[in-house]
Structure 1
């Protein structure tokens, strides 16, 4: 009996479809398309229920995670590449520091960080996404969730992380990086380190931010300091640990001050 291994396959949330059942577009594409007529009046309200279900699934699976760090990077990086090996070292260092590692669950740098965490005895999380081309969760993921909608997945990356570490990557990595920077810049998330790992890759971007954005007044003078850059995975983890320690100390001091104020008021 010959197995049909060449059929196209796609994950859609908790489902797998193959062959002729693979649609021509993804759920994200259909959500963002603006069809003619008034059909959207009847379709979009029902999509809200599916979106709600994805949020519930993500919250339910991730709510009891230990402190975690989200790692981004290219899916095209191969084992043996310096970026891949750096990802393995980073995942292991985060696990040793007591952090779970969250990635997009795919190959490349994502696989590397999941591998490092798993082999160091840490918790390895993969948050996948439905794409026009199949990209399955890598084998080093302990807990994996497949999402239909990018914006639901992005919420999970941020909500359950204490920091982001960004390895070299392409458009998707840049999208995730600048979304995180915007959330910190606008105060939507606080005490949230963003570390760029790979000086040679990221330094031209930092220089452009300073020479173009800052010099034209598009950002504030302190905004470039939101990005930390290093070649050392252990230094990246130390930045995250130190930030968490400062946040805990500030929270403790605030509680002491509040308790003192209450006591003096009575």
Structure 2
């Protein structure tokens, strides 16, 4: 249970609480009802607000109660996706180093707790909760993944092209899913976030003033938050509604800050879980912009299930953008063609030079 309504319904209807999981809820309004229950064997309470009296009662009757104050810089029991303001809290006043995002990365790298089993458990609970929240968030929605390198700078033609790609995909009714970081990922999320193309041009011009998160994450993130606020509050408003994109970053890559243009952010401690969460949900297609090692890893991780897919199974399109990059600079395309020979994979794998060719290929593949 992760909503007050779920808990209230269970208590009012006197449903058994044995084996139930209660996650990140304030139990104080229900304390008297819970104190009157003894069918608590196997109940697990993950964080939230629990008085000492109630915690003692729950444990006495066989429940497992995880402490709310875990010592972690973020809430490991969180039951919903992050919003940019959650991760960048304190950015304006104290700088990036003081934000929950930066503190969580430092916590993940702290050698003094590297073998602390409770810390490992908290990180695992957090990542599992992110997966659950992501599943609920994307339930039933068609998702197109956009992958690409973090080094792509604002103000460049390739950055602008990635933003227009994200815009076009979102306008077609798909959710844009990225790795949630800077560069090509930020551009795609920005394009999806800004639903009107003229307003998108304004945002691109503003962001070009700080091209990269290097050397200063502070300046990069502050400008992005300002632009995001303008889009949301009306100065760049485009009339779009609903969730148009999601980012899935990781603290494993601590040098890559999350971008702020996602409608929701599922951030993971485990990069392996993050990669699986990212690629497994691209049910309407995967678009890969130029990138380096991390992007190459994502290509072949995505190709594996496509390679082994039965002939009668629907296989979403895989579209690589950048002929010279993927044939010469990083020669992935020849390997893909060799793997795809004689398989369904051959019919859904594409290489284009212009992002404007992508929407039609996504439509043809679905």
Specify the alignment match of 1:151 in structure 2: 272
Does structure 1 residue 127 correspond to structure 2 residue 248? yes
> Which of 55, 62, 84 in structure 1 is aligned with 2:159?
84
How far apart are residue 230 of structure 1 and its match? 0.6
1:202 aligns with 2:277: no
Aligned to 2:257: 136
Higher-RCO chain (CA-CA 8 Å, sequence separation at least 6): 1
In structure 2, the CA distance between the partners of 1:106 and 1:220, relative to structure 1 (3 Å rule), is closer
Alignment root-mean-square deviation, CA: 3.4
1:175 deviation in Å? 0.6
State yes or no: 1:117 paired with 2:192.
Answer: yes
Counterpart of 1:103 in structure 2 is: 178
In 1, the alpha carbon distance for the partners of 2:135 and 2:333 equals: 38
Residue 169 of structure 1 and its aligned partner are, at CA, apart by: 0.5
From the two aligned structures, give the one with the greater strand fraction: 1
Q: Post-superposition shift, 1:71?
A: 0.3
Q: Is the 8 A contact 1:71 1:113 kept in 2?
A: yes
Counterpart Cα distance in 2 of 1:6 and 1:117: 25
Q: Contact (CA 8 Å) 2:176, 2:246: kept in 1 or not? A: yes
SS in 1 for 2:169: helix
Is residue 129–residue 153 contact of structure 1 (8 Å, CA) maintained in 2? yes
| Residues 317 and 361 in structure 2, CA contact (< 8 A), matched pair in contact too | yes
Task: Answer whether contact 1:54 1:152 (CA < 8 A) is retained.
Answer: no
Q: Which one of 176, 186, 191 corresponds to residue 308 of structure 2?
A: 186
Shift of 1:135: 3.1
Give 3-state SS (helix, strand or coil) of 2:107's partner. Answer: coil
Unaligned 5+ runs, structure 2:
1-92, 196-239
Q: Note closer, same or farther for the CA distance 1:45–1:186 as it changes in structure 2 (3 Å cut).
A: farther
Q: Deviations over 1:17-73 (max 9, x none)?
A: 27xx9236289xx6xxxx8xxx98x98788754553332232223225x31201000
Shift of 1:8: 6.5
Q: Distance in 2 between matches of 1:208 and 1:227?
A: 12
Question: Which residue of structure 2 lines up, in the alignment, with residue 262 of structure 1?
Answer: none
Partner of residue 54, structure 1? 130
TM-score, structure 2 length as denominator?
Answer: 0.52
- The answer to whether the Cα contact below 8 Å between 2:181 and 2:258 also exists between their aligned partners in 1 is yes
Residues of 2 paired with 1:26 and 1:180: CA distance?
32
Q: Shift in Å at residue 234 of structure 1?
A: 2.9
How many residue pairs match? The answer is 221
* Contact 1:26/1:132, CA 8 A, preserved across alignment: no
